[in-house]
C-alpha cells in the first residue's frame, strides 16, 4: 500500500471529523454551543439549546463524517482495512478535538457510529439498537451512548473471529472506543450521582453566551 495514500486518507479523516456541525450551526444562530449546556458541539447539546430541527442537521452531518472518512480511505487505498479503520478513528479524533473550532468538539458518538456502520453494518445496527433501548427506557442519551460503544467493542472482535470482518477493524474499537468513553467521563459521574440531564430537558441560552456581532452603524455588539 502506498504510504502517501495512507497518510492522505488519515489526514482526510481528521479534517472531515474537524468539521463541527454543531459549532457552525450554532454560529448561524448567534450562539456558541461550546459555551452553553454541556459545552459539547454534538447533537444532544444542540437539541437542548437550539431545538430539534438543527439537532437533526447536526446528527446527520456528524454521522456523515464517519461514513465519508471510511469511504474516502477505501477509495484512496483500494480497500485497505488498516486505512479504513484508522481513518474512521481519526474522524472521531477530529470530531472530539477539531482543528477548525479551537480543538473543542463533541464526544464522538454520531461520528463513531457512522464509521462503525460503514466498516461493519451489522455491528453498527447492533450498536444503534443498544443505544436506542436504554434511551427509550431512561431518557439518558449518555447511558445509551456508553452502552453502544461497549457493544461495538464486543461485536467487532466476535465478527473478526468468525471471519466476517478484517482483523484490522479491531483497531477502530480498541482506539476509538476508550476515546469516546473518556469523553463521557463527566456524564458517567453525573449518572452515578443522579444529576445527569435527560433527553428533552432544555438548556436556556443566556444573552451573554451568544456570539457577539458588530453593529454596522454603531460598532457595538448586538
SS (HEC) of 146-194: HHHHHHHHHHHHHHHHCCCCCCCHHHHHHHHHHHHHHHCHHHHHHHHHC
Pairwise CA distance, residues 9 & 31, whole Å: 33
pLDDT digits (tens, 9 = 90+) for 152-191: 999 999 999 999 999 999 999 999 999 999 999 999 999 9
Helix (H, G, I), strand (E, B) or coil at 214: strand
If 0-12 CB within 10 Å is exposed, 13-18 middle and 19+ buried, where does residue 35 land? Answer: middle
Enumerate residues 6+ apart whose C-beta is below 8 A from 179: 89, 92, 93, 96, 108
Tally of CB atoms within 10 A around 213: 10
Q: Which of 171, 93, 106, 97 is nearest to 145 (CA)?
A: 106
Comparing 56-60, 105-109, 178-182, 200-204, the range with the smallest average pLDDT is 200-204
pLDDT digits (tens, 9 = 90+) for 18-66: 999 999 999 999 999 999 988 999 999 999 899 999 999 999 999 999 9
pLDDT band with cut points at 50, 70 and 90 for residue 206:
low
Amino acid at each position: 500500500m502506498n504510504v502517501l495514500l495512507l497518510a492522505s486518507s488519515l489526514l482526510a479523516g481528521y479534517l472531515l471529523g474537524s468539521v463541527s456541525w454543531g459549532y457552525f450551526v450554532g454560529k448561524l444562530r448567534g450562539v456558541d454551543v461550546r459555551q452553553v449546556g454541556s459545552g459539547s458541539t454534538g447533537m444532544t447539546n444542540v437539541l437542548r439549546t437550539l431545538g430539534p430541527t438543527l439537532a437533526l442537521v447536526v446528527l446527520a452531518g456528524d454521522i456523515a463524517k464517519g461514513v465519508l472518512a471510511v469511504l474516502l480511505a477505501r477509495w484512496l487505498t483500494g480497500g485497505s482495512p488498516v486505512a479504513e479503520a484508522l481513518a474512521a478513528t481519526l474522524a472521531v479524533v477530529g470530531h472530539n478535538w477539531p482543528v477548525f473550532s479551537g480543538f473543542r468538539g463533541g464526544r464522538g458518538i454520531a461520528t463513531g457510529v457512522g464509521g462503525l456502520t460503514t466498516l461493519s453494518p451489522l455491528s453498527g445496527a447492533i450498536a444503534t439498537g443498544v443505544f436506542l433501548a436504554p434511551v427509550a427506557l431512561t431518557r439518558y442519551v449518555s447511558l445509551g451512548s456508553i452502552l453502544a460503544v461497549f457493544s461495538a467493542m464486543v461485536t467487532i472482535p466476535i465478527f473478526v473471529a468468525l471471519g466476517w470482518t478484517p482483523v484490522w477493524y479491531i483497531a477502530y474499537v480498541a482506539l476509538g472506543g476508550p476515546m469516546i468513553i473518556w469523553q463521557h467521563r463527566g456524564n458517567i459521574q453525573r449518572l452515578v450521582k443522579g444529576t445527569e440531564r435527560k433527553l428533552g430537558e432544555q438548556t436556556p441560552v443566556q444573552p451573554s453566551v451568544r456570539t457577539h456581532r458588530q453593529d454596522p452603524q454603531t460598532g457595538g455588539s448586538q
